[in-house]
């Protein structure tokens, strides 16, 4: 969609989350586009309200009161367009209420068409409930039972390259037809199924499914083994999300009539703004949103966007699963004091059953931040495994690649190439000290070389994502000025030295003068540099150590400041923690002291 | 004076209880409005479509999928029994014919001309919904189910496992602060809803399963014991389908925590009466807590502090996170402005006077309302 006309002066955008509806008001003033105020109210999709627009109007009413100008009309609708000081020119919304968009994905081969289909569904903002494929080891009757049991909002069926064999994808369609799946919402309405597979099998799929489901056929998402074409499937999922799925949720038919652009699934909109920023700025970007139940990871490397959802890694509802997945030892390694295993397990289970409680003791906070590191680390592992080059394609290799034995399907995630890492979610955005958020991101993602760090303090990326579809300029301006809180820059040399030789020598030109740093192995050094300030740095790594220009190669870079400043991380990649418990606690205490991570206990 | 909305677990001697009893698909409702039902009364019934068994006919017969239909011995939609020939190849010059038999009893639903796959549908599977609660049918919603209503004692737990069950209440220990021992549970407790104690160890849980008790309601549970009992580490609190031979309701939390005095008092007063118990827990949107329901004669439904959800000076609360986890107290003050905690987080707080007179300040998020005097 093209940019809106310049006469647009104000934009109101809401994100209807599962518990809270958040509204932001953006206006064009003397400084250009800025966020002017925000409001929130409980989401009202469930009983006793059963109408999402009640929560929307409540959140917008708060914005109206804070801004001191009228946005809601007598008839409880949003006033549009802006007339004088009343109303807004655009109203947009995203939604993840009612469990978001829950999809079942099917493809012929797990690592090829099924994986491409999963990428398309995740990219559209869906929660992928299961991936069915011809080679997933389940017997057909088990697959049918699974389809029937899941009750998804939508199914994406793919399989086969164009012109290839049709029988496997036809078999999958028959299994779906035999299951006669019922949608999660809306009794009596037919389940939307998107077919994006071998075009030669489209008629067979129509014959099998068009009488039982709301079938739509789009271009093959894997027309050849070497090519992935996710756009048409993703767009169709977005259209069906609003037309069919959310139409069944209470109040959405009205909400849809209010908005200036289609309502998008929240994670799809977040992906869109990250993709837009990466493309417009020419950056490699990663974003991570750690919530109570799930953790989403977004990345753009080499212009390719990927999203994963770690469905049961989160800081409240899923906190016990973080412990179960990471293991006690992995959580314990980040806890800067000795703790009994049984006590830690009970403490975590108590948070699981009372998820809204917050740590009031410093040690409780430190345990939660240890768990956050592991949730973030595990979600990155899942993302790296998924965000790969296409598997199954033929590669032309030169002799050096043949010797390196690189297979197809290498991860696109290159932490040395990462320019910007953005964190969001309560444990990062609301950490009492910003440096805690910075170190959680560094410890879990282990960025290499030079990486800027930021947090999205009020989580307005969803609203900016949907805004980017109609007014990119406004979305990007607000993203830069009001959305992100810059934390600073992390410089992490990769490689090691012998004896006591420093990893890297750094010559810094700071606004107040020059400074030299000799970064020792195992050390963390913090140099404060405020938001907006830059420092020119000459990085001279030791032989065999890489800071982004290749082993032993020096480079000169501009380092961006932030609320934390510049963090020079000499702890190695992967970060080396002492195996001995006492030595580990001592190392954590030293690092924490170097960064001023926590207040001193008892004082 | 400020106030805030805070959830809590309901514990009431005179509660209104309404439980929808719905089929997963359309079926038949077997009860009438106003009808009296017992926990085991079947109130609705449906037939789920039968399981599907697939057979790759074209591969088995070595023919192209498009040629299959002329080889079928049973028409699509026709009934079959297991072992019955359903297709036969033409063979070579009429010899060496291959026959494929039905893998199951049911109906030959379809044979695909594209994939060569045959789908056999087995007999429909009956599914029944029971009343769960002794009470009256308050509404019917054909063809999906009904609602059962009753009045009586209601105790919500914080966490549970296991399906719906029912049985007579037996109090194992009058001392709410004492951990249960296997010796507390006797063979005569088969089918009973056992109540008491501050902790049910793995040995106690195994003993309850061994004597075939219907349910166990206790104060605390050790997380490590739960892992042992289930055979896996429960990651997300969505439960109710565990088939461990016992329904468990934990009222306070993980660790050794005394069963609340009011819960013990109410359930002891109902000893011998039939309780309906569910371990189903879902701590996400649409929160579901485990429960113990004891229908009885209640003239007037009690309005409790938990019903209002309103936290104000004078409210009785339980502290639900360290420090003072489990302690009861009375709210003294709810300052409107956020304050700094030891962690340096700035949050809305409240001051609580504990039972011993000590005053503590803590985040509002770390208390829950209780219907009990401190």
- What is the C-alpha separation between A336 and A587, in angstroms, rounded? 9
pLDDT band at B308 (very low <50, low <70, confident <90, very high): confident
- Residue A212's CB is within 10 A of a number of other CB atoms, namely 16
- What is the C-alpha separation between A469 and B244, in angstroms, rounded? 52
Residue tagged 């009309």 (tokens):
A73
Among B53, B285, B360, most A C-beta atoms within 10 A, so best to mutate, is B285
Query: Looking at residue A74, what is its pLDDT?
Result: 92
Average pLDDT, chain B: 91
Q: How far is A243 from chain B (nearest CA, A)?
A: 24
For residues A230 and A221, is the Cβ–Cβ distance under 8 A? yes
- What is the C-alpha separation between B347 and B321, in angstroms, rounded? 15
Q: Is A349 within 8 Å of B226 when comparing Cβ atoms?
A: yes
Residue A358: list chain B partners with CB under 8 A.
321, 345, 347, 363, 365-366
Q: How far is A383 from chain B (nearest CA, A)?
A: 20
- What is the C-alpha separation between A303 and B372, in angstroms, rounded? 60
CA distances A195 to A97, A151, A192, A227, Å, are: 26, 18, 10, 17
Residue B324: list chain A partners with CB under 8 A.
none
Q: Is B52 within 8 Å of A140 when comparing Cβ atoms?
A: yes
Q: How many residues does chain A have?
A: 603
Q: Is B323 within 8 Å of A361 when comparing Cβ atoms?
A: yes
Q: What's the start-to-end Cα distance of chain A, in Å?
A: 56
- What is the C-alpha separation between A516 and A130, in angstroms, rounded? 53
Residue tagged 């399989």 (tokens):
A159
Q: Is A540 on the interface with B (CB under 8 A)?
A: no
Query: Looking at residue B274, what is its pLDDT?
Result: 97
Q: Both tokens of residue A440?
A: 């959680």
Backbone angles phi, psi at B260, to 5 degrees: -65, 145
Which residues of A166-212 form beta strands (DSSP E)?
Answer: 192-195
- What is the C-alpha separation between A568 and A522, in angstroms, rounded? 11
Q: How many CB pairs under 8 A join A and B?
A: 161
- What is the C-alpha separation between A393 and A223, in angstroms, rounded? 12
- What is the C-alpha separation between A178 and A169, in angstroms, rounded? 14
Q: Is B112 within 8 Å of A174 when comparing Cβ atoms?
A: yes
Q: Which of A148-152, B120-124, B144-148, B324-328 has the highest mean pLDDT?
A: B144-148
Helix or strand or coil: residue A499? coil
Among B229, B342, B365, most A C-beta atoms within 10 A, so best to mutate, is B342
Burial A336-364 (b: 16+ CB within 10 A, else e): beebeeeebbbbbbbbbbbbbbbbbebbb
- Residue window 161-200, chain B: list those with CB within 8 Å of chain A: none
H-helix or E-strand spanning residue A139: none
Report residues of chain A scoring pLDDT below 70: 1-6, 47-48, 98-99, 185-188, 392-408, 601-603
Q: Is B235 within 8 Å of A325 when comparing Cβ atoms?
A: yes
Residue B366: list chain A partners with CB under 8 A.
357-358, 360
Q: Which of B363, B323, B322 is nearest to B346 (CA)?
A: B363
- What is the C-alpha separation between A270 and A264, in angstroms, rounded? 10
Query: Looking at residue A414, what is its pLDDT?
Result: 95
Rounded to two decimals, the pTM is 0.86
Q: Both tokens of residue A425?
A: 């979610």
Residue A432: list chain B partners with CB under 8 A.
343-346
Q: What distance separates the 2 farthest-apart alpha carbons in chain A?
A: 75
Give the chain A residue nearest B250 (alpha carbons).
A353
- What is the C-alpha separation between A160 and A223, in angstroms, rounded? 8
Which residues of A501-601 form beta strands (DSSP E)?
Answer: 504-510, 513-519, 524-527, 534-541, 555-560, 565-569
Residue A312: list chain B partners with CB under 8 A.
235-236
Name the β-bridge partners of B108.
B120
- What is the C-alpha separation between A565 and A439, in angstroms, rounded? 12
Give the chain B residue nearest A208 (alpha carbons).
B112
- What is the C-alpha separation between B3 and B184, in angstroms, rounded? 44
Q: What would the DSSP string read from start to end of A94-106?
A: EE-GGG-EEEEEE
Q: Is B297 on the interface with A (CB under 8 A)?
A: no
Q: Is B65 on the interface with A (CB under 8 A)?
A: yes
Q: Is A349 within 8 Å of B254 when comparing Cβ atoms?
A: yes
Q: Is B235 within 8 Å of A318 when comparing Cβ atoms?
A: yes
Task: Answer whether the bond into residue A48 is a cis peptide, omega within 30°.
Answer: yes
Question: Angle A155-A161-A165 (CA atoms, 0-180°, nearest 5)?
Answer: 95
For residues B176 and B197, is the Cβ–Cβ distance under 8 A? yes
CA distances B199 to B126, B202, B250, B325, Å, are: 40, 10, 9, 15
Burial class (CB in 10 A: 0-12, 13-18, 19+), B92: exposed
CA distances A194 to A52, A107, A209, B117, B332, Å, are: 27, 12, 10, 22, 58
Question: Angle A488-A493-A496 (CA atoms, 0-180°, nearest 5)?
Answer: 155
Cα-only R_g, chain B: 28
Cα-to-chain-centroid distance, residue A246? 22
Residue B325: list chain A partners with CB under 8 A.
350
| ipTM for the whole complex | 0.88
Q: Is B255 within 8 Å of A350 when comparing Cβ atoms?
A: yes
Name the β-bridge partners of A540.
A505
Burial class (CB in 10 A: 0-12, 13-18, 19+), B199: buried
**Position B238 pLDDT exceeds 90:** no
Q: Which of B148, B154, B136, B135 is nearest to B294 (CA)?
A: B154
Parallel/antiparallel/unpaired status of strands B247-254 and B215-221: parallel
**Position B6 pLDDT exceeds 90:** no
Q: Is B53 within 8 Å of A359 when comparing Cβ atoms?
A: no
- Cβ-proximal residues to A183 (8 Å cutoff; 6+ apart), any chain: A151, A152, A153, A154, A189, A190, A191, A192, A245, A248
- Cβ-proximal residues to A602 (8 Å cutoff; 6+ apart), any chain: none
Cα-only R_g, chain A: 25
């Amino acid at each position: 969609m093209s940019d809106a006309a310049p006469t647009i002066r104000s934009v109101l955008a809401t994100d209807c989350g599962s518990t809270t509806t958040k509204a932001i008001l953006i206006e064009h003033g003397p400084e250009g586009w800025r966020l002017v105020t925000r409001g929130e109210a409980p989401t009202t999709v469930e009983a006793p309200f059963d109408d999402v627009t009640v929560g929307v109007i409540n959140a917008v009413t708060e914005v109206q009161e804070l801004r001191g100008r009228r946005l809601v009309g007598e008839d409880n609708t949003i006033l549009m367009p802006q007339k004088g000081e009343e109303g807004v020119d655009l109203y947009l919304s995203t939604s993840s209420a009612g469990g978001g968009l829950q999809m079942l994905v099917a493809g012929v081969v797990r690592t090829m068409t099924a994986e491409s289909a999963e990428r398309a569904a995740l990219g559209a903002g869906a929660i992928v409930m299961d991936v069915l494929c011809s080679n997933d080891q389940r017997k057909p009757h088990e697959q049918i039972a699974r389809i029937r049991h899941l009750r998804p909002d939508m199914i994406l069926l793919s399989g086969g390259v164009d012109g290839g064999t049709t029988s496997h994808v036809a078999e999958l369609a028959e299994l779906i037809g035999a299951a006669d799946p019922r949608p999660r919402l809306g009794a009596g309405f037919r389940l939307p199924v998107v077919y994006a597979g071998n075009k030669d099998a489209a008629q067979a799929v129509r014959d099998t499914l068009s009488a039982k489901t709301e079938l739509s056929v789009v271009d093959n998402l894997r027309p050849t083994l070497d090519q992935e074409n996710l756009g048409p499937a993703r767009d169709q999922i977005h259209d069906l999300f609003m037309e069919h799925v959310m139409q069944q949720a209470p109040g959405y038919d009205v909400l849809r009539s209010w908005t200036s652009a289609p309502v998008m699934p929240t994670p799809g909109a977040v992906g869109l703004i990250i993709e837009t920023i990466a493309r417009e700025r020419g950056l490699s970007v990663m974003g991570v949103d750690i919530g109570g139940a799930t953790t989403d990871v977004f990345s753009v490397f080499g212009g390719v966007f990927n999203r994963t959802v770690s469905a049961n890694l989160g800081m409240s509802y899923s906190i016990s699963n973080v412990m179960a997945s990471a293991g006690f030892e992995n959580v314990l390694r980040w806890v800067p004091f000795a703790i009994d295993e049984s006590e830690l397990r009970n403490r975590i289970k108590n948070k699981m059953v009372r998820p809204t409680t917050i740590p009031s003791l410093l040690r409780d906070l430190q345990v939660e931040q240890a768990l956050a590191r592991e949730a973030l680390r595990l979600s990155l592992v899942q993302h790296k495994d998924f965000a790969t080059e296409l598997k199954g394609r033929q590669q032309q290799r030169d002799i050096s690649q043949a010797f390196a034995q690189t297979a197809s399907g290498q991860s696109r995630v290159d932490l040395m190439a990462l320019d910007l890492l953005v964190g969001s979610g309560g444990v990062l955005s609301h950490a009492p000290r910003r440096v805690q958020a910075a170190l959680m991101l560094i410890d879990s993602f282990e960025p290499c070389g030079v990486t800027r760090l930021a947090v999205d303090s009020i989580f307005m990326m969803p609203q900016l994502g949907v805004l980017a579809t109609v007014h990119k300029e406004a979305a990007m301006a607000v993203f830069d000025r009001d959305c992100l809180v810059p934390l600073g820059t992390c410089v992490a040399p990769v490689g090691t030295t012998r004896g006591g030789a420093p990893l890297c020598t750094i010559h810094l030109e700071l606004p107040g003068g020059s400074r030299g740093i000799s970064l020792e192995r195992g050390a963390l050094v913090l140099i404060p540099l405020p938001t907006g300030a830059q420092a020119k740095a000459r990085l001279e790594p030791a032989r065999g150590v890489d800071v982004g220009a290749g082993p032993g190669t020096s480079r000169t870079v501009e380092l961006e400041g932030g609320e934390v400043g510049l963090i020079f991380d000499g702890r190695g990649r992967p970060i080396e923690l002492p195996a001995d418990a006492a030595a580990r606690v001592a190392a954590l205490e030293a690092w924490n002291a170097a960064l001023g991570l926590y207040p001193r206990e008892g004082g | 004076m400020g106030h805030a909305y805070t959830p809590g677990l309901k514990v009431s001697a005179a509660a209104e209880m309404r439980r929808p009893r719905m089929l997963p698909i359309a079926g038949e409702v077997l009860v009438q409005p106003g009808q009296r039902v017992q926990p085991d009364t079947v109130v609705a019934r449906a037939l789920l479509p039968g399981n599907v068994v697939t057979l790759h006919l074209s591969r088995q017969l070595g023919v192209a999928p498009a040629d299959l239909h002329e080889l079928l011995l049973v028409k699509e939609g026709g009934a079959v029994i297991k072992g019955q020939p359903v297709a036969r190849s033409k063979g070579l010059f009429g010899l060496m014919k291959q026959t494929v038999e039905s893998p199951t009893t049911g109906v030959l639903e379809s044979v695909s001309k594209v994939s060569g796959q045959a789908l056999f549908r087995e007999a429909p599977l009956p599914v029944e919904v029971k009343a769960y609660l002794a009470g009256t049918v308050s509404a019917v919603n054909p063809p999906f189910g009904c609602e059962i209503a009753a009045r009586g004692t209601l105790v919500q737990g914080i966490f549970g496992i296991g399906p719906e069950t029912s049985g007579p209440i037996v109090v194992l220990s009058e001392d709410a602060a004492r951990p249960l021992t296997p010796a507390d549970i006797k063979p005569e407790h088969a089918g009973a809803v056992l109540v008491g104690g501050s902790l049910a160890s793995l040995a106690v849980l195994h003993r309850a399963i061994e004597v075939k008790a219907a349910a166990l309601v206790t104060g605390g549970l050790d997380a490590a014991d739960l892992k042992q009992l289930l055979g896996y580490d429960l990651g997300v609190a969505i439960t109710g389908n565990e088939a461990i031979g016992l329904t468990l309701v934990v009222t306070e939390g993980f660790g050794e925590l005394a069963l609340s005095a009011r819960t013990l008092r109410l359930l002891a007063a109902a000893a011998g009466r039939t309780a309906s118990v569910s371990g189903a827990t879902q701590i996400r949107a649409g929160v579901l807590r485990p429960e113990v329901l004891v229908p009885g004669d209640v003239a007037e439904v009690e309005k409790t502090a938990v019903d209002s959800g309103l936290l104000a000076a004078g409210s009785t609360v339980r502290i639900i996170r360290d420090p003072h986890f489990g302690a009861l107290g009375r709210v003294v003050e709810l300052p409107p402005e956020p304050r700094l905690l030891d962690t340096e987080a700035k949050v809305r707080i409240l001051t609580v006077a504990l039972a011993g007179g000590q005053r503590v300040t803590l985040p509002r998020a770390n208390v829950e309302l209780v219907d009990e005097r401190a």
